[in-house]
Amino acid sequence: MSREEVLARVAAALEGAERTPLPDHRPAAPTGPADVADLFVERVEDYQAVVHRVDPADLPAAVAGALQGAARIVVPPGLPPEWLSALDGVEVVADDPPVPADDLDRVGAVVTAAAVGIAVTGTIVLDHGPDQGRRALTLVPDRHVCVVHESQLVADVPGSTARLRDAVDDGRPLTWISGPSATSDIELERVEGVHGPRTLHVVLVGRELRSPT
């Protein structure tokens, strides 16, 4: 009943009203790839997240370093196994079958990939594909190690949804992460770490081997 009532009230309110057009969005200003990676690192670090910038060959070592102190970790079923090849003495639990939330609360960390990184805002977007897993995986554990490739970076928020469109059309959720969980509810002073992971490590992987200088 109320559906018709509300829609009738909307129609009555709009009777004779001017119908305004939908504006076009301006595309984001182009930024060179090198600048984008530098800016991304600067902005992610600004949120008190830990950034490890590595060549592809050093990815396993960086992941192992970010997991230091964790005895048991959880990973999404589609995570490339070679990313974990440098781990030593760490119990790895694959989320298949799904780990109950109570157990997720007891693992030390989670390792995932990402879908997009946004430089200007220092944001990582998960589209919860097979290498990122369901949403609870990156929420309940207290440490999140997230691997982002430079090819996944975009300069700014405008343009970011083009890369997320397929996942959304596929019915998948998105999680936009900008630093660790935080609150400003007490006297508007920022405190890092409330309900989400209190520690966020971002491993940014370069496009190719860089010669040491």
Nearest distance from C-beta of residue 135 to other proteins, angstroms: 4
Pairing type for strands 153-154 and 116-118 reads parallel
Q: How many residues bind other proteins (CB under 8 A)?
A: 72
Nearest distance from C-beta of residue 99 to other proteins, angstroms: 13
Alpha-carbon distance of 56 to 209, in angstroms, equals: 7
Binding of residue 94 to other proteins (CB under 8 A): no
Find, among 79, 51, 56, the residue nearest to 200 by Cα. Answer: 51
Binding mask 7-46 for other proteins (x = CB under 8 A): x-xxxxxx--xxxxxxx-xx----------------x--x
Question: Do the beta carbons of residue 128 and residue 175 sit within 8 Å?
Answer: yes
Three-state DSSP at 44 gives: helix
Nearest distance from C-beta of residue 60 to other proteins, angstroms: 28
Binding of residue 81 to other proteins (CB under 8 A): no
Of the residues 196, 203, 204, 205, which one makes contact with other proteins according to CB under 8 A:
196
Of the residues 195, 208, 211, 213, which one makes contact with other proteins according to CB under 8 A:
195
**Is the peptide bond prior to 56 cis by the omega test (within 30 degrees of 0)?**
no
Binding of residue 165 to other proteins (CB under 8 A): yes
Angle made by CA atoms 52, 160, 31, in degrees to the nearest 5: 70
